[in-house]
A and B are shown apart, each in its own frame.
Chain A
Amino acid sequence: MGMMMDLAAFFDQAWVARLAILKGLGTTVAVSALAICLGTILGVGVGLALTYGARPLRWLTRGYTDFIRGTPVLVLVFASYYVLGTVGLDLPPFEAGVLALTVFCSSHVGEIVRGALQAIPAGQSESAKAIGLTFTQTFAYVLAPQALRQILPAWVNTAAEMVKASTLLSIIGVGELLLRIQELISRTFLSLDFYFFAGVLYFAVNYAIERFGRYVERRSALPT
């Protein structure tokens, strides 16, 4: 009987707060989408620099990725939030958070791109050269398509990581889903119900991304 009353109270409160929850979900999507898009653009640049750059550029980029990957995401978020104010770039939490996640995403995407490009056998570019293609043509028609096959599943995985990382922005006060849920809990005291609810929502989103990733992997695979 107590359980039933709990569930009824939960659904009641959830319905009352539906707007806040939806707004939170919207913010989560916005944060994740921005971080993924900007992070991918930056990451492709990083990956290309690591693969084809001159020695000094490669060193610099390597330093960048090693530094970012050796730092916890939360520390990146805090650093972005606190530090940028002092150098005159006073960003509100949302922008600071997205910046941190973008940088984090770029280091992952950079590694993925580098790995995929370096996995292509040297013979591919050699034979392309032999039939007279320029580097740009080789990249566009021979290398990129093959690299993409390896990049896509890993990239989808990174996208899922970004959605999970968006929860960290609640700690600096960005109004995404987890923060909204926590506000709800502080009002209703239904911690168990609402944390479980949050878990279910995040699971649903990430599981959908996981399934999408497997679909992409199947579609992009070469016929056997």
Chain B
Amino acid sequence: MKITKLFTNNRKLVLFSVIFYVVVDVLHLTGVLNDYWIQITNVALINIILAVSLNLINGFAGQFSIGHMGFAAVGAYTAGTLTTIIWKLGVANSITKYLLFAVALILAGVAAAIVGYLIGLPTLRLRGDYLAIVTLAFGEIIRVIINATGYVGGPRGLLGIPKLSNFTIIFFVTLLSVIIMRNIVFSTIGRALKSIREDEVASELVGVDITRYKVLAFTIGSFFAGIAGALLCHLLQIAHPTQFGFIGSINVLVMVYIGGAGSISGSIVAAVGLTFLSEFLRLGIDNLNKIAPFPVGPEWRMVVYAVLLVAVMLYRTAGIMGGREFGILVPEEEGKNATGSQA
């Protein structure tokens, strides 16, 4: 097997990714993009993983889950605890620290996947609102457990996590995660998930083991949420229970539905768009406050943000992308089939 065919046979996707990476790096080195904007870019990339992985559960498999940050918390605390302990031993040098981080990332994913599997197995018999309530409760349970566990810092948060995330690592982990999830979506597994979303009974009666696939979607989604959580806490050097609470989960959910449930491209657009929009609004309100004859408080940021969300949902009910994908994300063998399909 040729290595070029592994993961993707779409040269344009590889080319685009490399160009994007080089451009951002060059802009950073030349000082056009300062550390602040690189940080925002990193957060946006992590949000891509979170949104795409939640989309796998909500948009593709049609299982309404709203506790996604709970899985991210499991990943963040697993990886964060591990690296912090080993870091303190002082055994990691400039090369082994990346090896350590790779192991920590995988463990974070696995830990979150195990929790996802255990949660999914009993709860995925529930449908719609009921499943949503259970996943919501689960997310809160995770947060409360972390809050009550002194060993990982409790309500103070897990401090002193080594800064192992950087743009390069986050970019390539995000790229790989998105490609893997895309590959799953454009395969018989993805079609099985979509058929469950469309009609559970019919899906079962054409041979899809729906329980298995629902749990699978949940497990894969949790795996990548765990990785995203681990990337985030090694970027911010802190894991804090409030990061992974209900508001965080809702933010990811908003990205999925604004972008378009059942569209990987949509989740990417929305994750990047909303992350930057939030920052632009912060700057915009600050500047407005300087020139406006009356005080404009930072709370207006959330008002404008919310109004924009409402507007998108009013004028594009299926999200920005609907169910469509960018051509670059569609595997060649799918061709016309994917461009024709839209939710």
- A and B: real partners? no
